[in-house]
A and B are shown apart, each in its own frame.
Chain A
Amino acid sequence: MMEPDAPSAQPIEVLLVEDSPGDVRLTQEALKDAKVHVNLQVARDGIEALSLLKQEGEFANSPRPDLILLDLNLPKKDGREVLQEIKESPTLKSIPVVILTTSASNTDILRSYMLHANCYITKPVNLDGFLKVVKTIDGFWLSVVKLPPHPQT
Chain B
Amino acid sequence: MNLISDLHENTEWRAKYRGLLEDSPDAMVVVNPSGEIVLLNDQAEKRFGYLRDEPPGQKVEEIIPLGLAERLIAEAMSGQTSGGIELNARRKDGTEVPIEIVLSPLETAEGILVTPAIREITERKTVEKHLAQMEAKYRGLLEAAPDAMVVVNASGEIALLNVQAEKQFGYRRDELLGQQVKNIIPDGFAERLVADGTRTAAEALAQQIGTGIELNGRRKDGSTFPIEIMLSPLESVEGILVTAAIRDITERKRVEDSLRNSEERFRLMASGIKDYANVMLDPEGLVVSWNEGAERIKGYRAEEIIGQPFSRFYPAEDIHNGKPARELARATERGSFEDEGWRVRKDGTRFLANVMITALRDENGRLRGFGKITRDITELKESEEHLGKTMAELKRSNDDLELFAYVASHDLQEPLRMVASYTQLLARRYKGRLDSDADEFIAYAVDGCNRMQELIQDLLSYSRVGASTDAMRQTSCEDALARAVKNLQATIEASKAIVDHDPLPAINTDGTRLVQVFQNLIGNAIKYRGAELPQIHISAREAGREWIFSVRDNGMGIEPQYFDRIFVIFQRLHGQKEYQGTGIGLAMCKKILDRLGGRIWVESQVSKGSTFYFALPVGEQI
Which A residues form the contact surface with B (CB < 8 A)? 20, 22-23, 26, 29, 102, 123, 125-128, 130
Nearest CB in chain B: distance from A73 CB, A:
9
Closest chain B residue to A105, Cβ basis: B410
Contact between chains at A126 and B424 (CB < 8 Å): yes
A residues in contact with B418, CB < 8 Å: 20, 22-23, 26
Q: B425: which of A29, A102, A125 is its contact (CB, 8 Å)?
A: A29
Q: Does B336 contact A (CB under 8 A)?
A: no
Assuming the contacts A125-B453, A126-B450, A126-B453, asked whether A22 and B421 have C-beta atoms less than 8 A apart, the reply is: yes
Binding site for A on B (CB under 8 A): 413-414, 416-418, 420-422, 424-425, 428, 450, 453, 457
Residues of B near A29 (CB, < 8 A) are: 425
In the complex, the chain A residue whose C-beta lies closest to that of B450 is A126
Given known A-B contacts A125-B453, A126-B450, A102 and B424 have beta carbons under 8 A apart: no
Determine the chain B residues whose CB is within 8 A of the CB of A126 once the complex forms.
417, 420-421, 424, 450, 453
Given A102-B413, A102-B414, are A128 and B420 neighbors across the interface (CB < 8 Å)?
no
Which residues on the A side are within 8 Å of B450 (C-beta)?
126
Q: Cβ of B421: which chain A residues have Cβ within 8 Å of it?
A: 22, 26, 126-127, 130
Instruction: Please name all residues of chain A whose beta carbon is closer than 8 Å to the beta carbon of B457 when the two chains form the complex.
Output: 125
Give the 8 A-B residue pairs with the shortest CB-CB distance, closest first.
A127-B424, A22-B418, A127-B421, A125-B417, A125-B453, A26-B421, A127-B425, A126-B420
Consensus secondary structure, chain A interface = helix
Closest to B427 in A: A127
Min CB gap B229→A, angstroms: 87
How many cross-chain pairs have Cβ atoms below 8 Å apart between A and B? 35
Contact in complex: B428, A127 (CB < 8 Å): yes
Cβ distance B199 to chain A, nearest Cβ, rounded Å: 97
* CA A26 to CA B421, docked complex, whole Å: 8
B152 to chain A, nearest CB (A): 94
Q: Apart from A127-B420, A128-B424, what 12 extra A-B contacts exist at CB < 8 Å?
A: A20-B414, A20-B418, A26-B418, A26-B421, A102-B414, A102-B417, A125-B413, A125-B417, A126-B417, A127-B421, A127-B422, A127-B428
With CB as the reference atom, state the residue of chain B lying closest to A127.
Answer: B424
Chain B residues, Cβ within 8 Å of A123: 417
A23 CA to B413 CA, complexed, in Å: 13
A20 to B421, alpha carbons, bound, how many Å? 13
Minimum CB–CB distance from B85 to chain A (whole Å) comes to 120
Residue pairs across A and B with Cβ atoms less than 8 A apart, 23 shown, are A20-B418, A22-B421, A26-B418, A26-B421, A26-B422, A26-B425, A102-B413, A125-B413, A125-B416, A125-B417, A125-B453, A125-B457, A126-B417, A126-B420, A126-B421, A126-B450, A126-B453, A127-B420, A127-B422, A127-B424, A127-B425, A128-B424, A130-B421
Minimum CB distance partner of A33 in chain B: B428
Q: Which residue of chain A has its CB nearest to the CB of B456?
A: A125
Please, which residues of chain A bring their CB within 8 A of the CB of B425?
26, 29, 127
**A22 CB contacts on chain B under 8 angstroms:** 418, 421-422
Name which residue of chain A comes closest to B417, CB basis: A125
Which residues of A sit under 8 angstroms from B416, Cβ to Cβ?
125
CA distance A26 to B418 in the complex (A): 9
Shortest Cβ distance from B516 into chain A, in angstroms?
Answer: 17
Chain A residues positioned under 8 Å from B453 (CB to CB): 125-126
- State the CA gap A40–B3 with chains docked (Å): 165
Central interface residue in A102, A126, A128, A130, by most chain B CB within 10 Å? A126
Q: CB-nearest residue of chain B relative to A124?
A: B417
B255: shortest Cβ distance to chain A, in Å?
A: 75
Smallest CB separation, A8 vs chain B (Å): 27
Q: How far is the CA of A126 from the CA of B422 in the complex (A)?
A: 9
User: Which among A22, A126, A127, A130 has the highest number of chain B CB atoms within 10 Å?
Assistant: A127
How far, in whole Å, are A134 and B62 apart by their CA atoms in the complex? 157
Closest to B454 in A: A125
Q: Name the CB-closest residue of B to A123.
A: B417
C-alpha gap A127/B417 in the complex (Å): 8
Q: Give the complex CA separation of A6 and B453 in angstroms.
A: 43
How distant is A68 from chain B, measured CB to nearest CB, in Å? Answer: 21
Q: Inside 8 A of A127's CB, which chain B residues have their CB?
A: 420-422, 424-425, 428
- Complex Cα spacing A94 to B450, Å: 40
